[in-house]
Amino acid sequence: MSDQTAPQDGAAVQSRADRLAHLVIVALMGAVAVGVIVTALGFPASPDPNDVGPARFPILYATGLLGLLGILLAQTLRQPVAEVAAPERRHYGRVALGMLLMLGALLAIGTVGYFPTAFVLLAGLMALMGQRSLVWNPVLALAITAAIYILFDYGLNVPLPPGSLFE
């Protein structure tokens, strides 16, 4: 999605595949943002009148996402489409594998727990993005997993799922 070429006049152009990919991203993420807003509107109101309530931040983030998607849509539709002279190798298979890995982690985190799920997810995503070190992948995955745990559990006082598999 980044194989934009610069013709002689200096204006950036995009391939048909890139335009389609951007439009699909806008549609899917727009549907997610609208779903978040609709779901958050059904959250119960806070009994404390000074509390913003649980729906405020999801609505705020989803509205921000819709604004960013509007910018992406405008930029995508404004750029001219041109055929790329030499087709480059696409990595859509890696993107699909990354999405499946994320879905698997989402489904497994309740049963397996945060630590193993996050570790496998991060190591897998690093491998999909080209980081192939047998030493650094597990080290970085473990460090990031631990940092997120410390931030959520101690900093934000939000417990992460321990999982029911090891009970």
Tokens 């807003």 belong to residue? 37
Residue 142: what pLDDT? 94
Q: Report the amino acid identity of residue 7.
A: P
Largest CA distance in the chain: 65
Residue 63: what pLDDT? 96
CA distances from 7 to 4, 14, 16, 76, 78 (A): 10, 11, 16, 17, 16
Residue 15: what pLDDT? 82
| Average pLDDT, consecutive stretches of 10 residues, N- to C-terminus, the chain (167 residues) | 49 80 91 93 82 83 95 93 67 82 90 91 90 88 93 84 75
Paired with 143 in beta bridges are none
Has this prediction a pTM greater than 0.75?
no
